[in-house]
């Protein structure tokens, strides 16, 4: 009866003598310890199974003195793989109340431990991302109010920029925050401006290029600024206007990305440098380690980004 109970348990169950030597171990127990057979453990000092766990010594001493002990710690198996254990150490008392033996029940909690560590890591990663995102929102707010505008205009511009940031977040969430294909980034950024079911007024063309998260995010913000400007003064301000988005990679491993407007009203060079142009010239160029050129030709605005492809992703977490 007792043997079958012990055999049915998923825990590692051991009985020790008062010297702390293993007298008995159940079948599951020696399997968990990755020992070839129970004899490997016979008469071994239990404490030797815990090379890095001083609490095991204290637990054994407590049980010898007639008290229950409980600890969790890590110990290697006989094959050397490190496992996490939840351990109960109990004295086995005679009818007269004398400690006769010591019962040790160890539960393998490696998996739970790993999951909980992963959760902690995810939570801190998430906090970092949220804080950075809030810092970006604060940065966008400060940049937005620098431009001369009514409070209403500034509020609308700010909301639109935060929405662009939101679209970038959705794109990156889908790809687990590692990288995103440039086509997905472009489509996501332009989505609110497109005629449903078609590309109009855009003409989009280019190969697959994986962009690291920080670059993808900044490209969405940059395209939002270009599109906003085009909707106000450029090709997107009239029905005939078109924007051609084209990118290619060169033999020298460079990415050349172009935004080319046509069919809009005659272009005039803007009188002041706003956030849009700073975002393109300074922020986007820096995040891509590249160069940005904006050309205000009278027939339509052209924006061109030239950046090296093989520079290892900046590694920046966004």
Interactions with another protein, residue window 258-297 (CB under 8 A): 278-279, 282-284, 286-287
Give Cα 34 distance to the centre of its chain: 34
For another protein, give the closer residue by CB, 61 or 121.
121
Of residues 9, 72, 74, 132, which one binds another protein by CB under 8 A? Answer: 132
75/84 Cα distance (integer angstroms): 7
Of residues 84, 106, 143, 228, which one binds another protein by CB under 8 A? Answer: 143
Interactions with another protein, residue window 297-316 (CB under 8 A): 314-316
247/186 Cα distance (integer angstroms): 11
| Shortest reach from residue 124's CB to another protein, in Å | 7
Q: Which two tokens stand for residue 301?
A: 């605005």
Residue 139 makes contact with another protein by CB under 8 A: yes
Residue 179 makes contact with another protein by CB under 8 A: no
Q: Which residues have a Cβ under 8 Å from the Cβ of 258 and sit 6 or more positions away? A: 244, 245, 246, 247, 302, 303, 304, 305
Of residues 87, 136, 180, 243, which one binds another protein by CB under 8 A? Answer: 136
Of residues 135, 155, 159, 238, which one binds another protein by CB under 8 A? Answer: 135
How far CA 23 is from CA of 14, 26, 55, 102, 136, in Å, comes to 7, 10, 21, 10, 63
Contact criterion met (CB below 8 Å) for 297 and 234: no
For another protein, give the closer residue by CB, 242 or 314.
314
Of residues 106, 179, 218, 229, which one binds another protein by CB under 8 A? Answer: 218
270/266 Cα distance (integer angstroms): 12
- Concatenate the DSSP letters of all residues of 151-211 into one string: HHHHHHHHHHHHHHHHHHHHHHHHTTTTEEEHHHHHHHHHGGGSPTTS-TTEEEE----EE
Closest CA relative to residue 49, chosen from 113, 112, 104: 104
How far CA 45 is from CA of 41, 75, 191, 255, in Å, comes to 8, 14, 68, 65
For another protein, give the closer residue by CB, 42 or 293.
293
For another protein, give the closer residue by CB, 50 or 275.
275
| Shortest reach from residue 53's CB to another protein, in Å | 27
Interface size with another protein, residues (CB under 8 A):
31
For another protein, give the closer residue by CB, 88 or 129.
129
Closest CA relative to residue 106, chosen from 151, 143, 69, 140: 69
Residue 216 makes contact with another protein by CB under 8 A: no
Of residues 35, 99, 103, 137, which one binds another protein by CB under 8 A? Answer: 137
For another protein, give the closer residue by CB, 5 or 316.
316
| Shortest reach from residue 140's CB to another protein, in Å | 8
The total number of residues shown for the chain amounts to 318
What stretch of H or E contains 258?
strand 254-262
Stretch that binds another protein, among 11-19, 98-106, 129-137, 299-307 (CB under 8 A): 129-137
254-262 vs 300-308, strand pairing mode = antiparallel
For another protein, give the closer residue by CB, 75 or 318.
318
What residues line the site for another protein (CB under 8 A)?
A: 124, 127-128, 130-132, 134-140, 142-143, 146, 214, 218, 221, 278-279, 282-284, 286-287, 314-318
């Amino acid at each position: 009866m007792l043997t079958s109970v012990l055999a049915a348990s998923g825990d590692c169950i051991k009985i020790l003598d008062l010297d702390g030597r293993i007298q008995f171990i159940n079948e599951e127990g020696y399997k968990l310890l990755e020992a070839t057979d129970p004899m490997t453990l016979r008469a071994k000092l239990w404490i030797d199974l815990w090379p890095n766990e001083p609490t095991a010594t204290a637990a054994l001493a407590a049980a010898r003195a007639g008290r229950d002990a409980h600890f969790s710690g890590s110990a290697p198996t006989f094959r050397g793989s490190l496992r996490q254990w939840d351990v109960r150490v109990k004295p086995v008392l005679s009818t007269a109340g004398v400690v006769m033996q010591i019962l040790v029940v160890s539960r393998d909690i490696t998996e739970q431990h790993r999951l909980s560590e992963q959760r902690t890591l995810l939570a801190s990663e998430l906090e970092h991302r949220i804080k950075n995102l809030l810092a970006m929102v604060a940065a966008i707010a400060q940049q937005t109010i620098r431009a001369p505008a009514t409070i209403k205009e500034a509020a609308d511009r700010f909301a639109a920029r935060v929405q662009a940031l939101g679209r970038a977040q959705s794109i990156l969430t889908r790809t687990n925050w590692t990288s995103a294909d440039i086509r997905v980034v472009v489509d996501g950024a332009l989505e609110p401006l497109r005629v449903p079911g078609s590309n109009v007024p855009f003409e989009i063309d280019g190969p697959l290029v994986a962009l690291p998260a920080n670059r993808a995010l900044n490209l969405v913000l940059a395209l939002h600024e270009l599109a906003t400007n085009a909707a106000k003064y450029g090709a997107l301000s009239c029905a005939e206007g078109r924007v051609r988005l084209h990118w290619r990679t060169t033999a020298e491993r460079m990415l050349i990305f172009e935004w080319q407007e046509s069919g809009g009203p005659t272009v005039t060079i803007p009188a002041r440098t706003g956030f849009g142009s700073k975002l393109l010239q300074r922020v986007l160029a820096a995040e891509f380690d590249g160069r940005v050129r904006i050309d205000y030709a009278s027939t339509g605005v052209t924006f061109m980004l030239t950046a090296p492809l093989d520079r290892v992703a900046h590694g920046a977490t966004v």
